[in-house]
A and B are shown apart, each in its own frame.
Chain A
Amino acid sequence: GENVEQHPSTLSVQEGDSAVIKCTYSDSASNYFPWYKQELGKRPQLIIDIRSNVGEKKDQRIAVTLNKTAKHFSLHITETQPEDSAVYFCAASVGSNYQLIWGAGTKLIIKP
């Protein structure tokens, strides 16, 4: 079946440094790629998303890049802050359908 692989499972970076989380998807028809942030005990919240007709999208310190040929997309967080500590999930649409396949998650730890 279709799947999304996410790496690394844990990422520890110094405050102020950049963090990059990568995902690979298998369904070449996927056209929607969201990233969710989940703080401990809270709901997942969308932080950024990208569609297949766009290669890159940026929102302040957060950016997502998409390489359709290689079928991978990445989350970039610059100038990391303590409040960036959370679990981040990538996901990909099931083809052009509204359903999502989720990556396994990356625990991001920001060291002071």
Chain B
Amino acid sequence: DAMVIQNPRYQVTQFGKPVTLSCSQTLNHNVMYWYQQKSSQAPKLLFHYYDKDFNNEADTPDNFQSRRPNTSFCFLDIRSPGLGDAAMYLCATSSTDYYEQYFGPGTRLTVT
């Protein structure tokens, strides 16, 4: 089945210790998104890629970086996690032909 996969599903990191979350997709969608979601709030868009073009949201902290080495994979790097970065991180994909966003299962990040 075509899908969006995120690894790991749960990640525990120490305050200030860099962490990388990964996302892969088999849908061949040209757009990939990273969202942060806290406590049943709406997903908050951090950035997205349209093909290789990176688009950062204005209020995304510099602490968050992303890489998309190819169509299938996308990574979220948190350079120095703070306690406030504990959240669910959702990866999503869409095509530009039809806008439906397909979400991965998410990575729950805990910062100790």
Contact = CB atoms under 8 A, between A and B. Distances in A.
Nearest to B48: A99
Interface in B59-112: 90, 94-96, 99-106
Q: Size class of B's contact patch?
A: 20 to 34
A43 B99 contact: no
A87 B90 CA distance: 16
Would you call the interface of chain A mostly helix, strand, loop, or mixed? strand
Q: Which of B45, B96, B103, B104 has the most CB atoms of chain A within a 10 A radius of its CB?
A: B103
A25 interface: no
Interface residues on A, range: 20 to 34
B21 to A, nearest CB: 14
Interface in A57-112: 87, 89, 93, 98-100, 102-105, 107
Given A44-B90, A102-B43, 18 more contacts: A34-B101, A38-B40, A40-B40, A43-B90, A43-B104, A43-B105, A43-B106, A44-B43, A45-B103, A46-B101, A87-B40, A89-B42, A93-B99, A98-B94, A98-B96, A99-B45, A103-B42, A105-B40
